[in-house]
Structures are given as structure tokens and as C-alpha cells.
Amino acid sequence: MDIREVLINALKGFDLRKIIKNPVMFITEIAFFISIFIIIFPSDFNVPYTSVYIYFYISVTVLLFLTVFFSNLSTSLSESQSKAITSSLEKMKISTKANLLKDGKIIIVNSGELKKGDTVLVRKDETIPSDGEVIKGSGYVNESNVTGESRPVLKLVGDSVTGSTKLVTDEITARVSVNPGESFIDSMIKVVQNAVREKTPNEIALSIFLSGVTLIFLIVVASIFSLSTYTGIKPNIDILLVLLVALIPTTIGGLLPAIGIAAVNKVSQYNIISKSGKAVENAGDIDTIILDKTGTITMGEREAVKFYSNQNYDYKEFVKNALLCSFNDETIEGLSIVRLAKKENINYSEEELKDYKFMPFSSETSYSGIKNGDKYILKGSLRSLSEKLNLNDAYINGVCKEISLKGGTAIPVASAGKFIGVIELNDILKPGIRDRIEDLHKMNIRTVMLTGDDEVTAAYFAREAGIDQYIANSKPDDKYNKVIEEKNKERMVAMIGDGTNDAPALAKADVAMAMNTGTQAAKDAANMVDLDSTPTKLIDVIFLGKQILITRGSLTTFSIANDISKYFVIIPAMFYLFPELGFLNLLNLTDPLRAITAALIFNTVIIIMLVPLALRGVKYTPSGASDLLQRNIMVYGFGGLVFPFIMIYIIYILLGLGGIAW
């Protein structure tokens, strides 16, 4: 962070053309200019100009300047974070040569010349020149410069690829999906840059409220002059300026821009790119979240958890056969079967496999295994093996049904014309997912799980995870229909997706997160893209959205509460000649000008004290709206009333000890 640049930008913020967008600080700056004129032309304002008052006027002027400066500084600090993120994103952009395929020939061009629809060839160890979709070939792509994940990701036909990432194996042909300046990284940079200028809907609403409050108090302070008609006492205009600045919500007015900028910055720190601040705001108001089972609720990787041998078949012999038919199976399921079998201390030798040929799993056969002439050991779906081998075993059928009722997947094993046992696979719940679902329930967010699994499996995982509703055997259009159904109930909906068939539902959802590994259509339809392609991050976004709303509400509550405390200091000081108002002087401050100065000092420094909290955010614990409101009132409402009294009194005493007494 360049401190010099931050300070310079804070000073540039005094430009009235900029600060007028923040009415609270605009009024404070006008008060600052008036206080300067009072020092230069005291007779024009008919104010006392003794040495005592001169020091007071100078103090007021300096403190008003610092109030505006600290407000600008909070915004400047937030913008510096955005610029740091922008700089890191710009470093991702790599200008490279591209192998453009045209009329059957390869033409070498700069990556910046590629247009949407162009076809490029990318060879091993070459940089992918632009965003696109794989149309031929496959290979592993190193996306660490975008996602931070060092492990390369396999890209197949139909998968999207991001410009500036590197192909580390094989060769692919990709169709460019964007024009120059419209790449994914370009979009990321624009989003972060726009965070400095754009206001979110809730921020606009709060700004209107603060403007209204400011206008009301401006009228109130102006009307105080009418008191002189009845009292004969003309209020000091500099004191009126202090009263005005104390009355209007300067604390939240000074921090509001920083909170808005910090919102988009925080999403970026999660390695998520939000296409608009509105999406982040919407996340805080979500009522329903639609989740896929595989990869979101569960790990998405089925693992072997138990062996069941058939009746009258030796258990250890069955486990050994299960190991042998999976020995060369490099799928996650196959590796887990071998791993589980080894835990059973089964003795085996690779020599036993030398005469066998491995048969990999295929969608046509729905089984895999080993075969040597008429000898075989096969594992696969109950239906496929029953049909191929013409088998029907009531015991095995019962075991498979029992496994399904527990939410598992049954893999029968057959050899020598009969079923010899069943392997149970489980797609286990993600660690901590049940607690996260419970946190959503505490926020009164309804959870819906969609899965292509059958009713029994879907019910099991929904029950285990604590899901409110599930849709089994779901088809691609079920997501879209569910989003529409929930929105028709006037609920705010969040969902994730990665396929082209998810695009319509993503486009309709209020918060739609696409996976970076997903298709271009999904990323275009969504308003957020997760660079790490971690589905559970949608829950993180909802938590973040809630935290932003809570932060804004908490600081607004604190600002209004500490304004009330300042009234009890400044108003008695203004009318100290009236004993009737003595009951308002709760702190029993005997020096009016010193009391007013102490209140203004607190009003100034509290802004800079709260900047770290505005940027970091108020700690958020999932709970209901009533609990949050109660906590907000107790901590930031009651605290906002008491804390200023303590601080103003301390400042008042310190000013006296420093020999400042008017």
C-alpha cells in the first residue's frame, strides 16, 4: 500500500464535485469553509474575537478539516485495496502468440488480435491465448495464476478454458468465446475498479435516509437563531456549526463509502468475482438456497466402505477377488476398493494377475474387472451383471437394497457364474456440511437439494445433511422450475451451476454462482464466478452478504446513538446561561467551550477509529433476525450511548490538564 498516494487521494477528496455525492460530508466541509471565514472576517459574522475565542475558532476549523479528511481517508484506504487487487489481476494477463486455425492453416497472431469465434490450437506447455471452449482434444491446464490452485485441472471437450493459463499436457483445440478486452480477467478488473464508483441498492437507500436526516438537522440548527428573538442571546455561529456537525450522522456518513468498496474487495479475497455489488447485497437477503448433492453436499467421490460376502462363500476369498478385479482400476472407486481390501490384511500376488486381461469400466457394459478365457471376476451394477451372466440371487438383491436404503451404492462382484458378494460404496457427506446447513437454518434460509439419485438415496443424504427439501431423479429443467417456484413465493433465491443446462436457472436466480471449470454459458448467466470451483463457497458468499448488512446496520446504529450523547454535551454548553437546562449536563462539564471542543474531537477521531472495523466487517454469528437486532441494540446502540460520554469526559479532563481552558 502506497501511504503517500492514500494521503494525496484523501486530500483530493475535498473537491466539492466529488464530496457532494456524500451529503453528510458535504455539509461538514461547508461548515469547515465557514469556520475559516469566521477566523478571517470575524466582524462579518458578529462573533466575539478575544484571544480565548480565537483559539476556539482555530480548534473548530482544524477538527472540521480532520473530520472530512478522516472520512476521505477511509474511502482512500478502501480504494487502495481495490487498486492492489486490480494490479495483481493485471499481472495475470499474459500477451502471447496464438496458433490461429484458418482455412486449414496455422497462422501465428498476437493473442490480443483474437476475436469471438476464432479457433486456436494449443500445444503442450503453451499459454492459452484467450477465453474459450475446448472443441477437440483434452489435457491438463495449470490455472494457478488465476485460481491459486497448483494442481492442474483436466479439460475435456465442452469445458471452458481461461486466457493466460497454461496447458501442461497433450494438445487441445479451443473456440474463442470473447472479443478483445472482454476476457474473464478483463471483466474481473472492471468489477474491482467499478467498486470504487458504484453504489449498491441498500447503500443508496441508506444514503437517502442520511441525506434526509442531515436536511432535518440543518433546518433545526438554522431555526435556533430564532431563539434570540425571545432570549436576546445570539448563539455563536461557530458553536452552531459544531452542533450541526454533531447532530448529523457524520460517523456513518464518513464510513459508508468504505463499507461499500470493502464489500466487493472481500468477495475478491474469497477468490470469487462478483459482476456487480448488487449480487453481494442480495446474498445478505437470501431466503432459499438451491444446492446440488454431488460435490456440494457430498464429496462427489464414492469410496468403498464395506464388503459383504455371499452366503456360503468365504469372506476373505471374496475380499481377495474384489481386490484382484480392482487392482488395475485407476478410478477413485477402484483405488478405494484396493485400499479397503489391504486393510483386511489380504495376501495377494501380482503373479496371480499375469494371465488376466484388465477390462476397464465403460458406459456400454456398466462393469469392469479381469478376464482370462472363461475365467473372470467382474464388478458392476446389479442390473448389468444380472443380464450379462443371467443371474438372479435373492440374497444379493436384498443386500443391494439394504445398501441403497442407507444412501450407499451397491457394487456386486461375480465370478464363475455366480455372485460372490457385494461392495458398498458411499459418497460421504462433506466434513462440516451439516453444521453449515444448520447455520443457514439459523438465518431462516430454506435449503433445497437436487440430485439425479433415486428417491431412497436422495432421502438418506437429505436427512443426514439436514436439508429441508430434496428433489430426486432431477432433470436439467428442474432447477429452473424450482427457481421460478420459489421466486413466485416472493423469496430471494441463490444457486450454483456449471453446465450449459444450468444457465436459464442461473439467469433467474438472485444470487447465481458459476464454477470457473464450468461452461461459458453458465459463467455468462451467473452474477458471480468462483475461481476455485468450490460449490460450498456459495454459503460463504451468503455469510459475507449478511456480514456486510450487519456491519452497515451496526455502524449506523452506533453513529445515531453517539450523536445523542453529543447532544447532551453541546446543547447545555450552548445555553449555559439557562439554569433550567442544567439537568441536561449529565457530565457536569463547567467549561462550555472546552466541552464543545471535547465533543468535536471525539466526533472527529471516532471515524478513524472505526475504519478498521468498516473494512474488516462486524463479526457475524448466524442467528435469527430478532437475535441480531437485540445484539445490535445492546452492543452498538447502548454502547454508542455510553462510550461517547466516557470518551468525551476523558478528552475534557485531558484538555484541562493540558492547560486548555476557555
Residue 369's CATH number: 3.40.1110.10
Q: Which residues are within 8 A (CB) of 197 and not within 5 positions of it... i.e. 6 or more apart?
A: none
- Residues 81 and 200 placed together within one structural domain of the fold: yes
Amino acid identity for residue 71 in this structure: S
- 153-to-101, 139, 167, 531 alpha-carbon distances in Å: 25, 8, 9, 12
Average pLDDT over residues 18-41: 88
Answer yes or no: 292 catalytic: yes
User: Whats the size of the chain, residue-wise?
Assistant: 662
Look at residue 315 and give its three-state secondary structure: helix
Q: Which of 286, 629, 618, 283 is nearest to 441 (CA)?
A: 286
What percentage of the chain reaches a pLDDT higher than 90?
A: 15
What number of H helices and E strands is found in the chain?
Answer: 25, 21
- Average pLDDT of 85-112? 78
Same domain, 525 and 629: no
246 shares its domain with 282 = no
Domain membership of residue 537 (yes or no) is no
Please pick, among 292, 453, 498, 563, the residue that the annotation labels catalytic.
Answer: 292
Q: pLDDT by residue (tens digit) across 544-582?
A: 888 888 888 888 888 888 888 887 777 777 665 556 666
Closest-CA residue to 562 (of 261, 253, 239)? 253
Return the pLDDT at 225. 61
Tens-place pLDDT, residues 635-659:
888 888 889 889 988 998 898 887 6
**Can you give the residue range of the structural domain that contains 175?**
97-182
Strand 303-309 versus strand 357-359 pairing type: unpaired
Pick from 134, 161, 182: which residue ends a domain?
A: 182
Whether 35 and 67 have beta carbons less than 8 Å apart is answered as no
The last residue of a domain, from among 182, 200, 215: 182
Domain contains 92 = no
Please say if the pLDDT value at position 176 is more than 70: yes
Average pLDDT (449-475) is 84
In angstroms, the Cα distances linking 469 to 61, 399, 478 are 61, 28, 13
Average pLDDT for 182-196: 65
Question: Does 146 have pLDDT greater than 70?
Answer: no
Q: Is the domain of 287 the same as that of 262?
A: no
Q: What is the pLDDT of residues 484-533, one digit of tens each?
A: 999 999 899 998 887 777 888 888 998 888 887 677 778 888 888 887 77
Task: Give the domain-ending residue among 154, 182, 210.
Answer: 182
> Minimal CA–CA distance to 497: which of 472, 471, 481, 476?
476
Mean pLDDT value across residues 335-352: 86
Structure confidence at residue 528 (pLDDT): 86
What is residue 93's predicted lDDT score, i.e. its pLDDT? 64
Task: Note whether 475 and 519 are same-domain residues.
Answer: yes
Residues 123 and 248 occupy one common structural domain:
no
Supply the DSSP string of 6-48, one letter for each residue. HHHHHHHTT-HHHHTTSHHHHHHHHHHHHHHHHHH-HHHHT--
| Residue 91 resides in a domain | no
CATH of the domain at 475: 3.40.50.1000
Which is higher by pLDDT, 176 or 80? 176
Are residues 510 and 445 located together in one domain of the fold? yes
Q: For the ranges 7-11, 315-319, 322-326, 569-573, which has the lowest average pLDDT? A: 569-573
176, 130 contact by CB (below 8 A): yes
If asked whether residues 292 and 149 sit together in one domain, one would say no
Per the domain annotation, does 218 fall within a domain? Answer: yes
Give yes or no: residues 80 and 197 share one domain: yes
In a domain, 589, yes or no: yes
Residue 602 lies in a domain: yes
Residues 6+ apart with CB under 8 A from 353: 324, 327, 328, 370
Quote the pLDDT of residue 22.
Answer: 84
* pLDDT tens digits along 263-310: 667 777 777 877 766 777 778 888 899 988 877 788 767 789 999 999
- DSSP bridge partners of 471: 450
Number of domains in the chain: 4
Q: What is the domain-level CATH number for residue 153? A: 2.70.150.10
| Whether residues 81 and 205 fall in one domain | yes
Q: Is residue 90 part of a domain?
A: no
Q: Once rounded to an integer, what is the mean pLDDT over residues 113-118? A: 90
Task: Report in angstroms the alpha-carbon separations of 268 from 146, 189, 221, 354.
Answer: 12, 10, 43, 54
**Which amino acid is located at 161 in the chain?**
V
Do 134 and 160 lie in a common domain?
A: yes
pTM, entire model? 0.64
Q: Evaluate if residue 197 carries a pLDDT over 50.
A: no
Average the pLDDT over each of 183-197, 359-373, 528-542, 625-639 and give the range with the smallest value.
Answer: 183-197
Report yes or no on 662 lying in a domain. Answer: no
